[in-house]
């Protein structure tokens, strides 16, 4: 009997995995596959913490499979080249995946599907990483939403509760022994940065604590949703009606996903083209100070140092540091977006792009260009006792901490004038 391959990508779990459950239901032996995609990996540092996280999770999954006589099939390379080898090695009849909505992934999957169909192999895709995908929450005329609030209202009106999948039947996996590669074989070195375990219980006080970086008020769920080590349905299943603000953040995630799907140009362009005339200064020295956390503004510097050291940055602080780069320093949001893409453990193209354009004022439903955060008042309001900034800036009270690299009032006025001149009517 021919084999079924389930291709793991952004769904590194056995529990409540839509595509995997459908593959098992086909009734044929299932080969579990993961491909370390060189088209993605070639852009990453050799000790990338996210690759380390993926590797550790795959190793744990492989150990579970070994317990039932199976293995995780792990390959490295260009996906098309890998699939050509797999077609030669196995009598493959069906391939199952969960959908990925990013531009590169869509092109990759289209090419793989064409290859498989050429060999008379079925290719099945399933919705898994979202509650509603690109065309399920749209305006009455069928067009995508540009503004979050009406999108959220429609999302909630359609939502009837998450349906969790049944338990996985591990006897359905193909019985074979495959050597699990070392991290070095994949081309990477160990990282000292670790992904924290998610804590959904923090949804209980999320609305109260979420803006204060000195508190442990966030769930650390981001990387786990990004790589699918937890199911979005399971997360929402655990929420209570009182956790409305937490749920709203999950809806923002799907809002930005559908923006990216319908408007892939936002990867490199302003969503609002009227801002295309902005003349960014793009001073490399200023950018380097921002990257290193040496701007002289404690809230900004603490955030950047936290990011560089841990791969995390508190959500409130992300708004402050992004706004500072775009409006105080007049550096193109794409520079900051790229730096976050390199560092964030929870980096997700749609959310990262959407939030950076929100901060710059160029995106859909963005903060207006004249909304310019004062980093000093943000510090006073959200870290008054300096618990957060003292943790990341030990020299803050020593007299060696630098003066602000630019005066806020001057920077604000300069940003307002630059934006006004750059707006294309």
Instruction: State the residue for tokens 């990477």.
Output: 188
- Look up the CATH number of the domain holding residue 339: 1.10.579.10
**Is pLDDT of 198 > 90?**
yes
Smallest Cα–Cα separation from 187: which of 95, 313, 16, 51? 51
pLDDT of residue 48: 97
CA nearest to 260, candidates 170, 363, 372, 127: 363
Whether 301 is covered by a domain: the verdict is yes
Which pLDDT does position 162 carry in this prediction?
85
Half-sphere exposure of 299 (CA within 13 A, CB side): 28
Report if residue 175 sits inside a domain.
Answer: no
Residue 392 annotated among the catalytic residues of the structure: no
202 pLDDT higher than 80: yes
* Domain termination residue (choose one: 128, 151, 186): 128
User: pLDDT-derived band of residue 390, with 50, 70 and 90 as boundaries?
Assistant: very high
Catalytic residue among 207, 249, 308, 390: 249
Do 248 and 325 belong to one domain? no
Asked if the model's pLDDT at residue 20 lies above 80, the reply is: yes
Identify the CATH number of the domain in which residue 214 sits. 1.25.40.80
64 falls within a domain: yes
What is the predicted pLDDT for the residue at 166? 87
End-to-end alpha-carbon separation of the chain, Å?
Answer: 64
At 258-296, the pLDDT tens digits run: 999 999 999 999 999 999 999 999 999 999 999 999 999
Instruction: Check whether residue 153 and residue 30 sit in a common domain.
Output: no
pLDDT in the model for residue 270: 96
3-state secondary structure the chain: CCEEEEEECCCCCCCCCHHHHHHHHCCCCEEEEEEEEHHHHCCCCCCCHHHHHHHHHHHHHHHHHHCCCCCCEEEEECHHHHHHHHHHHCCEEEEEEECCCCHHHHHHHHHHHHHHHHCCCEEEEECCCCCCCCCCCCCCCCCCCCCHHHHHHHHHHHCCCCCCCCCCCHHHECCCCCCCCCHHHHCCCCCCCCCCCCCHHHHHHHHHHCCCCCCCCCCCCHHHHHHCCCCHHHHHHHCCCCCHHHHHHHHHHHHHHHHHHHCHHHHCCCCCHHHCCCCCCCCHHHHHHHHHCCCCCHHHHHHHHHHHHHCCCCHHHHHHHHHHHHHHCCCCHHHHHHHHHHHCCCCCHHHHHHHHHHHHCCCCCCCCCCCCCCHHHHHHHHCCCCHHHHHHCCCCCCCCCCCCCCCHHHHHHHHHHHHHHHCCC
Residues 123 and 136 in one domain: no
What is the number of structural domains in the chain? 3
Whether residue 191 lies inside any domain: the answer is no
The residues near 415 (Cβ < 8 Å, ≥ 6 apart) are 327, 328, 330, 369, 372
In a domain, 13, yes or no: yes
279 plus 411 within the same structural domain: yes
| Inter-residue contact 218 to 314 (CB < 8 Å) | yes
- What pLDDT shows up at residue 161? 86
Q: What pairs with residue 5 in β-bridges?
A: 31, 95
Predicted TM-score (pTM) of the model is 0.95
Angle between helix 284-292 and helix 298-310 axes, rounded to 10 deg = 70
Active-site residue flag, 280: yes
Does the pLDDT of residue 216 top 90, yes or no?
no
Q: Is 290 one of the annotated active-site residues of the chain?
A: no
Inside any domain, residue 193: no
Q: What is the pLDDT of residue 238?
A: 94
Closest to 301 measured CA to CA, from 289, 309, 316: 289
Contacts of 404 (CB under 8 A, 6+ apart): 295, 296, 297
Instruction: Please report which confidence band the pLDDT of residue 217 belongs to, taking 50, 70 and 90 as the band edges.
Output: confident
Domain extent for 79: 1-128
Residue 163 has pLDDT above 90, yes or no: no
Q: Which two tokens stand for residue 358?
A: 């929100």
Told to judge if 83 belongs to the known catalytic residues of this protein, a careful annotator would answer no
Question: Are 237 and 250 members of one domain?
Answer: yes
Q: What is the structure's pLDDT at 367?
A: 78
**Contact call for residues 331 and 291 (beta carbons, < 8 A):** no
State the pLDDT at residue 424: 83
What mean pLDDT is reported for the chain? 96
Residues 76 and 58 occupy one common structural domain: yes
For residue 38, is it within any domain? yes
| One domain for residues 73 and 134 | no
Q: 188 near 55, Cβ under 8 Å?
A: yes
Let me know whether 277 and 338 are in one domain.
Answer: yes
- The CATH number of residue 92's host domain is 3.40.50.620
Which position among 155, 333, 358, 392 bears the catalytic label?
A: 333
Structural contact between residues 159 and 52, judged by C-beta atoms closer than 8 angstroms? no
Residue 105 burial by CB count (10 A; 0-12/13-18/19+): exposed, middle or buried? middle
β-pairing verdict for 73-77 and 92-98: unpaired
- Residue pLDDT, tens place only, 323-349: 999 999 999 999 999 999 999 999 999
**Active-site option among 136, 280, 308, 390:** 280
Residue 414 scores a pLDDT above 80? yes
Is-catalytic flag, 252? yes
Q: What is the pLDDT of residue 369?
A: 87
The fraction of the chain above a pLDDT of 90, given in percent, is 94
Q: Do 63 and 123 lie in a common domain?
A: yes
Query: Domain boundary residue among 108, 128, 148?
Result: 128
Q: Which of 262, 282, 306 is the last residue of a domain?
A: 262
Residues 367 and 340 grouped into a single domain: yes
Is 122 a residue of the active site?
A: no
Annotated catalytic residue, options 155, 356, 358, 392 = 356
Examine the domain organization and report whether 142 and 257 are in the same domain: yes
Count other C-beta atoms under 10 Å from residue 207's C-beta. Answer: 15
Please indicate, yes or no, whether residues 256 and 337 belong to a single structural domain of this protein: no
Burial class (CB in 10 A: 0-12, 13-18, 19+), 5: buried
Mean pLDDT confidence for 53-80: 97
Residue 224 lies in a domain: yes
């Amino acid at each position: 009997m021919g084999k079924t391959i389930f291709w793991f990508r952004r769904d590194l779990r056995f529990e409540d995995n839509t595509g995997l459950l459908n593959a098992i239901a086909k009734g044929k032996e299932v080969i579990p596959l993961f491909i370390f995609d060189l088209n993605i990996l070639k852009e990453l540092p050799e000790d990338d913490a996210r690759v380390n996280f993926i590797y550790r999770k795959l190793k744990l999954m492989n150990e579970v499979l070994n317990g039932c006589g199976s293995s995780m099939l792990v390959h490295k390379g260009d996906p098309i080249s890998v699939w050509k080898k797999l077609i030669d090695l196995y009598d493959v009849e069906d391939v199952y995946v969960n959908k990925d909505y990013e531009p590169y992934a869509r092109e990759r999957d289209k090419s793989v599907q064409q290859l498989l169909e050429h060999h008379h192999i079925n290719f099945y895709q399933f919705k898994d990483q979202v509650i509603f995908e690109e065309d399920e929450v749209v305006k009455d005329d069928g067009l995508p939403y540009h503004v979050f609030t009406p999108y959220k209202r429609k999302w909630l009106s359609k939502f009837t509760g998450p349906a969790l999948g049944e338990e996985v039947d591990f006897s359905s996996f193909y019985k074979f022994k495959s050597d699990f590669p070392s991290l070095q074989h994949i081309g990477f070195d160990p990282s000292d940065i670790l992904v924290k375990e998610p804590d959904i219980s923090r949804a209980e006080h999320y609305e109260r604590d979420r803006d204060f970086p000195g508190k442990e008020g966030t769930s650390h769920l981001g990387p786990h949703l990004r790589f699918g080590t937890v199911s979005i349905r399971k997360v929402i299943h655990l929420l209570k009606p009182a956790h409305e603000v937490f749920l709203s953040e999950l809806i923002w995630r799907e809002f930005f996903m559908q923006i990216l799907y319908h408007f892939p140009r936002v990867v490199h362009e302003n969503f609002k083209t009227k801002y295309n005339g902005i003349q960014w200064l793009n001073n490399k020295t200023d950018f380097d100070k921002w990257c290193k956390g040496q701007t002289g503004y404690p809230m900004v510097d603490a955030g950047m140092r936290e990011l560089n050291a841990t791969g995390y940055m508190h959500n409130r602080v992300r708004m402050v540091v992004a706004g500072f780069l775009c409006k105080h320093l007049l550096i193109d949001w794409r520079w900051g977006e790229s730096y976050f893409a390199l560092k964030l453990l929870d980096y997700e193209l749609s959310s990262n792009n959407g939030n950076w354009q929100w901060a710059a004022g160029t995106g859909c439903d963005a903060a207006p260009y004249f909304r310019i955060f004062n980093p000093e008042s943000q510090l006073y309001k959200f870290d008054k006792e300096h618990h957060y900034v003292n943790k990341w800036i030990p020299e803050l009270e020593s007299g060696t901490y630098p003066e602000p690299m630019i005066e806020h009032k001057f920077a604000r006025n300069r940003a307002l004038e630059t934006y006004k001149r750059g707006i294309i009517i």
